[in-house]
Every structure is written in structure tokens, then in C-alpha cells.
């Protein structure tokens, strides 16, 4: 069993939809949770970072962490075609060199 | 700031050839990393360097060597390339003193081994 599971999709939604992207994990020591966005043929870029449980909001993006269920989510409100990308979750217990990535979910937002 | 830069952007090798992938960051970050990204496999850590002068193996180090030349530069060497090393390679770095492992990535090198 992988430490981090992420549905690879692809996920296709109409412009303006609310998008929910999710990851589950098995290691209860994870405390730091990140979402990266990767456009085609580009490097991943850090989108959201959350420490421990709770919500964090940044514009149209909301990251949620539920440590009791070992489940994290990224919500995108009013999705735009420019949000079309692969979204990777990543998590760490704070040990250097031990950032674990999900497989990534490919999102397409259609105009 | 250019952030994390990688050269070359693309490379085609024949089996058995060697090459070095270059990575540099101008953000004064201490820690640097090399990953490979393959379809369905996500990002897998090859090697990392916690600070200048130190390197450690990651999840998939076989067939690779690294050099942390100075604080800015971290290179990845394939001594005898194999088709299984066809992949996209990303370099990343972490801010000095960061309490978490947030990493900032370069644009990648697409390597094909024939």
C-alpha cells in the first residue's frame, strides 16, 4: 500500500464549477501538507501549504486537512480554464528528504 | 531571481553513454533535491543534499551519482545510461531554516535513453 493515495483522474469540469481534489494517507506522523500545481511540461509549483489539521484559504483555493480521517482536500471555486493542470498532494512528517507525493490528479476545465 | 534553473532542457542518449544534469538555485537555499517523474509513478526522490558538503540517497538512487558543488549547485550524473532512466528529471530546493520540507522546483530535463 502506498503511503499517499491520489486518484489520477482525469477530471473534466465546466468553467465555473467547484472542484474537489483529494488525497488519503496512511502515516499518522505526517504534519505538513502541501498542494502543488503542475502545468504541462513544467515543474511543480507550490500552491498551498497547511500545518496539521484545519482549513486554509487563498483566493479561490481552499485546502482542508482532516488528520483523524487521514484525508486532505483542495477545493477550487469558480474554476477557470487556466486551472487546467495536474495537482499533486505532498506531505511530510518534518524529516528532511521525506516529502511524499501523490501521483497527481489531472484536471481539465472546459470553457 | 531566476529561482531554480536546470540544464539541459532536453537530451537524447544512447544506452551506455554518460551525462551530467546541472541544477542551480539563486535563493540561498540550503537543501537541494533530485527527482524523477514517470507516468503513473509520481515524483520519486533520487538523491538529496541537506547542506553544502552532504548528500544522501533517496528512494531510487541506483544508477545515479550526485555532487553538491557549492551552496548554489547540485548536479546529477548518469555514468552508463539505460532505457529505464528515460524520464523527466526535476531539481528542487528548500529555504534555509524552513521548519517544513516545502520545495521549489526547476523546469525539468526531459531525458530519453535509446
The CA distances from residue A77 to A16, A24, A25, A39, A55, in Å, are 7, 21, 24, 19, 15
How many C-beta atoms surround the C-beta of residue A108 within 10 A? 14
* pLDDT over 80 at B106, yes or no: yes
CB–CB of B101 and A46 under 8 A? Answer: no
Residue B76's nearest CA partner among B94, B57, B95 is B57
One-character DSSP codes across A29-52? T--EEEEEEE-TTS--EEEEEEES
Please tell me the predicted confidence (pLDDT) of residue B8: 97
Q: What is the pLDDT of residue B98?
A: 64
| Nearest-CB residue to A97 (from B48, B100, B108) | B48
Q: Does A39 touch chain B (CB under 8 A)?
A: no
Quick check: B74 contacting A, CB < 8 Å?
no
B99: pLDDT confidence band, cut at 50, 70 and 90? low
Among residues B49, B52, B80, the alpha carbon closest in space to that of B66 is found at B49
Give me the pLDDT at residue A34, please: 93
Q: How many contacts (CB atoms, under 8 Å) link A and B?
A: 58
Residue B100 sits at the vertex; the CA angle it makes with B96 and B104, to the nearest 5 degrees, is 65
- Reported as a single tens digit per residue, the pLDDT across B30-51 is 899 999 999 877 899 999 998 8
For A8-28, what is each residue's pLDDT tens digit? 789 999 999 999 999 999 999
Name the grid cell of A83: 486551472
| A-chain residue closest to B56, CA distance | A97
C-beta of residue A50 within 8 angstroms of C-beta of residue A36: no
Cβ(A110)–Cβ(A14) below 8 Å: yes
Q: What is the pLDDT of residues A43-98, one digit of tens each?
A: 999 999 898 888 999 999 999 999 999 999 999 999 999 999 999 999 988 877 78
Chain A residues with CB-CB distance to B36 below 8 A? none
Give the sign of the dihedral formed by CA B76, CA B33, CA A89, CA A63: negative
pLDDT in tens, B71-81: 999 999 999 99
Mean pLDDT confidence for B87-97: 90
A-chain residues near B33 (CB < 8 A) = 97
Amino acid at each position: 500500500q502506498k503511503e499517499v493515495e491520489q486518484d489520477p483522474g482525469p477530471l473534466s469540469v465546466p468553467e465555473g464549477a467547484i472542484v474537489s481534489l483529494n488525497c488519503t494517507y496512511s502515516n499518522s506522523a505526517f504534519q505538513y501538507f502541501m498542494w502543488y500545481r503542475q502545468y504541462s511540461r513544467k515543474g511543480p509549483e507550490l500552491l498551498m501549504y497547511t500545518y496539521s489539521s484545519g482549513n486554509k484559504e487563498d483566493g479561490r483555493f481552499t485546502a482542508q486537512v482532516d488528520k483523524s480521517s487521514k484525508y486532505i482536500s483542495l477545493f477550487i471555486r469558480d474554476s477557470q480554464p487556466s486551472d487546467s493542470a495536474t495537482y499533486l498532494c505532498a506531505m511530510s512528517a518534518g524529516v528532511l528528504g521525506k516529502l511524499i507525493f501523490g501521483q497527481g490528479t489531472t484536471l481539465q476545465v472546459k470553457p | 531571481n531566476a529561482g531554480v534553473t536546470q540544464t539541459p532542457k532536453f537530451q537524447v542518449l544512447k544506452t551506455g553513454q554518460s551525462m551530467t544534469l546541472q541544477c542551480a538555485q539563486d535563493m540561498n537555499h540550503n537543501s537541494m533535491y533530485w527527482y524523477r517523474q514517470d507516468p503513473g509513478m509520481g515524483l520519486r526522490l533520487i538523491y538529496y543534499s541537506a547542506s553544502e558538503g552532504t548528500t544522501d540517497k533517496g528512494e531510487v538512487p541506483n544508477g545515479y551519482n550526485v555532487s553538491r558543488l557549492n551552496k548554489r549547485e547540485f548536479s546529477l550524473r548518469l555514468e552508463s545510461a539505460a532505457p529505464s532512466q528515460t524520464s523527466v528529471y526535476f531539481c528542487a530546493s528548500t529555504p534555509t531554516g524552513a521548519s517544513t520540507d516545502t520545495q521549489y522546483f526547476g523546469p525539468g530535463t526531459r531525458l530519453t535513453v535509446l
